[in-house]
Structure 1
Amino acid sequence: MLAPSIDYAEQSGYGIWSFVPALTGFLVGGLFLRVIDGVVPHLHMRPMGLEETEGTPSSLSSTALLFLAVTIHNIPEGLAIGVAFGAAGEGAATIASAIVLALGIGLQNFPEGAALSMPIRAKGRSKSHAFNMGQSSALPEIVSATLGAWLVTQITIILPYALAFAAGAMVFVCVEGLIPNSQTNGHNKVATIAFMFGFAIMMTLDVALG
């Protein structure tokens, strides 16, 4: 998403300053997620079943806090998908690259949903309740995707910034939560290999279809 951001900025006449929208959007996207992470109360599952609460103090149940944690991750994911399709509609990216991104995020939503449903089930809640909580945590992704697509098609001047913003938000989520959590419980080697394979698959699809 950073490459299309720079390309679109060049096409828009930024010249030697074409890096500015990408740089600005990327940093603001990461900062935005950092603010949300620090303000919204949520729960992270740590090694050995330990729970770590982050954000402002809250009396919400651990289930609600875990739900909010997954929801926070889904906001930038949906935004990235929406911006990608909006950019494709404006000619700043290909529809194939947007589809590849949507497929990649969709695939990782399966374990993400399970990461919410399984602890809820382990706390004694019913299977249907655990399943519904896992599914409903993805609803903000639909909203943010719609918003992202609408914004970049209605206000095209923000397109390079929006692309980089989505990239920055996604990188923050990966570095702050997904990668560290994948390295716990002695699974660091497996997690690293899985990361390499995932990266290789997405790169292949992006080049083959884009």
Structure 2
Amino acid sequence: MEWFEGLSPVLQGLLATLFTWFITALGAALVFFFKKFDKRVLNSMLGFGAGVMLAASFWSLLSPAIELSEELGYSGFVIPAIGFFLGGAFLIFADKLMDTYSYGVVVDKNNENIPKAARYRKSILLVLAVTLHNIPEGLAVGVAFGGVAAGIPGTSIAASLALALGIGLQNFPEGAAVSLPLRGEGLSRTKSFLYGQASGLVEPIAGVIGVIAALSVRSLLPFLLSFSAGAMVAVVGAELLPEASIENKKLTTLGLILGFIVMMILDVALG
């Protein structure tokens, strides 16, 4: 831990988000070994990652945003509330945009009577959708490390690492959720893997941007922290929990609770 703390915040954010991308690649690599994977395991991981992200959205992002707003002489709730709302609205708008551009792409279970171009369009949209949701996740990790370097109350290296771990855990089933369906649609294992891991490449980029933004303008940090929190809660509510709860609601709920507890303990005990 000491060697990591001695690194520059930009390098810390980069390494943390490279880890989350690596876990995405591991999930995508399942396509080399399986055509299908036990959904109970994947859904439990999604639930656990969602719990970590929910807890982190408050303790590692929103709470520090409130404290910093008050420290800077702003209202304790106005900027955090606006940032949180806009972060969630960004994800809602992004989903709406993807729905608009994917309109008319109809694929049945066996991909029968579907033009090849339509199947590839669906594949591209699937990758883009996951990639889009990875942007705020990488940004959240970067902003968290930037907040630590900026000396923001309530932030810590341990909490930021725990946030990266939680995002990484839910990235594993996301990588598999991209590569396995693409393999089922007829793409080669190699291409399916490359598409799957590519959806996570945006996280290191967003992570570095988040660190730099957090360090450049201290007065923007309350907004950036709360924006990241709102985006993460929107990802959990709109994507992770609905997807994971379709078939295994109890396992997903258990994973959610355990993930929340683990993140809470790490943040409170080590923060």
TM bucket (normalised to shorter chain) is 0.7 to 0.9
Q: Secondary structure at the match of 1:61?
A: helix
Match of 2:176 in 1: 114
Q: TM-score, normalised by structure 1?
A: 0.86
**2:131 counterpart letter in structure 1:** T
Q: Secondary structure at the match of 1:91?
A: coil
C-alpha contact (below 8 Å) 2:143/2:224 kept by paired residues: yes
Could you list the per-position Cα deviations for residues 79-125 of structure 1 after superposition, in whole angstroms to 9, with x for gaps in the alignment? 11111011111011212211111111112111111111111111222
Percent of matched pairs sharing the same residue: 45
Change (3 A) 1:38 1:60: farther
> Which residue of 129, 135, 144 corresponds with 1:69?
129
Match of 2:76 in 1: 18
The answer on 1:29 being equivalent to 2:67 is: no
Could you list the per-position Cα deviations for residues 52-105 of structure 1 after superposition, in whole angstroms to 9, with x for gaps in the alignment? xxxxxx996111011011112101101111110111110112122111111111
**Higher RCO (C-alpha 8 Å, min separation 6):** 2
Per mean C-alpha deviation after superposition, the further-off stretch among 159-168 and 95-104 is 95-104
Instruction: Give, in whole Å, the separation in 2 of the partners of 1:59 and 1:130.
Output: 13
How far 1:209 sits from its partner (Å)? 2.4
Match of 1:55 in 2: none
Change (3 A) 1:124 1:135: same
Equivalences for 1:35-50 in 2 at 5 Å? 35-40=93-98, 41=101
The answer on 1:103 being equivalent to 2:165 is: yes
Instruction: Give, in whole Å, the separation in 2 of the partners of 1:34 and 1:107.
Output: 23
> Which residue of 164, 170, 179 corresponds with 2:226?
164
**1:141 counterpart letter in structure 2:** E
How far 1:50 sits from its partner (Å)? 10
Give the length in aligned residue pairs. Answer: 197
Equivalences for 1:83-94 in 2 at 5 Å? 83-92=143-152, 93-94=155-156
Match of 2:260 in 1: 199
Q: Secondary structure at the match of 2:227?
A: helix
C-alpha contact (below 8 Å) 1:42/1:69 kept by paired residues: no
Root-mean-square deviation (Å): 2.2
Instruction: Give, in whole Å, the separation in 1 of the partners of 2:90 and 2:71.
Output: 27
Structure 1 stretches of 4+ with a deviation exceeding 4 A read: 48-51
How far 1:158 sits from its partner (Å)? 0.5
Match of 1:79 in 2: 139
**1:10 counterpart letter in structure 2:** E
> Mind listing any 5+ residue stretches in structure 1 that lack a counterpart?
52-57
Q: TM-score, normalised by structure 2?
A: 0.68
